[in-house]
Structures are given as C-alpha cells and as structure tokens.
Amino acid sequence: MFKLNKCLILHPIRNNTMSHIELNDKKIQILNVAEKLFSEKGFEGTSIRDISKEAKINIAMVSYYFGSKERLLEALIFHKTVDLKLQLENLLQEDIKPLEKVNKLIEIYINRICLNKGIYRVLHFELYNKKREKSLQAFTELKKGNLKSVESIIKQGQAQGVFRKDVNIQLITPTIIGTFFHFHMNRSFFEELFDLKTEEMFNNYIKNDLTKHIQQTIKALLVYEN
C-alpha cells in the first residue's frame, strides 16, 4: 500500500539488547492496547490512531517502535504465544493417570486462551486471511508442537489400555478449543441464555460448567466402556 522510501531504524536499541526481545514499558503498553482493540474491532477495524489514543502516545510511536502496523501484529503474536509451549511440555513429564493428564490439558488450554482472549480471537480471524500468512507462521509452529503433546498424552493412555484406539487424535484439539471458542465468540448469546450478568459470573461459568462439559465430552470419547 505504502512504500518505505527510506530504510528507517525500525528497532531502536537501548542497553545493547535487541528490541524485539527487550520490551520496555511503552512497547508493552502499546501491545496491550493493540491486543484489546484488535480483538474488539479486528485488525483492519483498528487504526493506529485508535491505538495511540487509547495508549496515550503519539501516532508516530507505533511506527517508531514496531516499524509498521503489520509488524506490530507480528510482535503481538510472538509476545503472547511463547510460553504455552513450555506449559504443555511440562505437563507431558508429569507422572499422573492419562485421564487426569487430559483433564489438565483441557484446563491449560482454557486458562491460556482465557488469559489471552484478545490475541487468540485476532489469530483465528486473521489467520484465514491469506495475506497475513507470514505474520502467523509462528502460530502454526506453536500448533504443531501442541498437537505432538496431545498425541503423546493420548497414546500413553492407549498403551495403558484405558483409552480406546478408534479415535481421531488429530481432531481432539479442534473439539476442545472449538467448543471453548464457539462459546466465547457467541458470548452475548450465552450471557443471556445462562443469565451471566457480570464478568465474574461469565468467567466462573467457563471455569466450572464449560470446562466440565469439555472434560466430560473428551472422557466419553476416549474411555473404553463397551
């Protein structure tokens, strides 16, 4: 759309650290506001002016720190997805029953996405948008890793004879995350349906009822009971 007619110093460096790793207060502030607004209004629906107004900074600061709106999105994705991978790998090592592990997995997923509500909404939408593919490659890698973790947990259970073997392992994550997401995407519908008047009530419903439903569903699917 617009070409850089000069190569800017896109990543100002302080204290000899690379700026896309070092995130000073102002950068984090921008990222948080961006996450909020992107998730509320979409990437295209949010202007840099919206962001800078809400973050109480000058418009130029976004370009100054991140180079462009596109790169801001990249930085946001990177910043928000780094540690889920670690959490799952730790779970793998735990010495508990397979079903317990699956239940914990579900809790981790829900908790993670709940904490970073915003960015996951953006991701799932922008992801479909072909032109944004490059920005989202890191996210694809994350998903591959997650799938491997899930696979090995379930195969453990199958080897122990507690999980049935005729399940499509690769489609279990879509069921877990999809259920949760659909609930979140239709938030106002379910708020009305279950009479969840406050933010707290909504979050409690997720923590208790929705989580229980997903765990019950996956258990029913996995556990041998013929």
Residues contributing to the site for DNA (CB under 7 A) = 1-6, 8, 12-14, 24, 26, 46-50, 57-64, 67-70
Q: Give the residue among 98, 116, 108, 136 at the shortest CA–CA distance from 39.
A: 116
**First CA to last CA across the chain, in angstroms?**
60
CB of 25 to its own copies, least distance (A): 29
> Given the rule CB under 8 A, which of 29-37, 55-63, 77-85, 127-135 is the region that contacts its own copies?
127-135
Stretch that binds its own copies, among 5-13, 58-66, 86-94, 163-171 (CB under 8 A): 163-171
Per partner kind, with CB cut-offs from 5 to 8 A, the member of DNA, its own copies, none near residue 181 is its own copies
Which among its own copies, DNA, none contacts residue 183 (Cβ within 5 to 8 A by kind)?
its own copies
Q: Which is nearer to DNA, 72 or 150 (CB)?
A: 72
Question: Which one of residues 121, 150, 154, 196 is an interface residue with its own copies (CB under 8 A)?
Answer: 121
Question: Is residue 133 a contact residue for its own copies (CB under 8 A)?
Answer: yes
Distances (CA, A) of 148 to 9, 67, 186: 39, 35, 29
Q: Which does 124 bind (CB under 5 to 8 A by kind): DNA, its own copies, none?
A: its own copies
Q: Which of 52, 87, 158, 179 binds its own copies (CB under 8 A)?
A: 179
Query: In this chain, which stretch among 61-69, 77-85, 154-162, 190-198 interacts with its own copies, using CB under 8 A?
Result: 190-198
No. of H helices and E strands in the chain? 11, 0
d(CA 87, CA 115): 14
Nearer to its own copies, 31 or 218 (CB): 218
In degrees and rounded to multiples of 5, residue 18 shows phi and psi of -70, 135
Rounded to an integer, what distance in angstroms lies between the CA atom of residue 160 and that of residue 154?
A: 10
Query: What whole-number distance in Å separates Cα of residue 76 and Cα of residue 167?
Result: 35
Q: Which residues of 18-38 are buried (b: 16+ CB within 10 A; e: fewer)?
A: ebbeebeeebebbbbbbbbbb
Tokens 């994550």, located at residue: 173
How many residues sit in the footprint of its own copies (CB under 8 A)? 52
Contacts of 50 (CB under 8 A, 6+ apart): 37, 41
Q: Which residues bind its own copies (CB under 8 A)?
A: 39-45, 121, 124-125, 127-131, 133, 140, 143, 147, 167-168, 170-171, 173-175, 177-183, 185-190, 193-194, 209-210, 212-214, 216-217, 220-221, 225-226
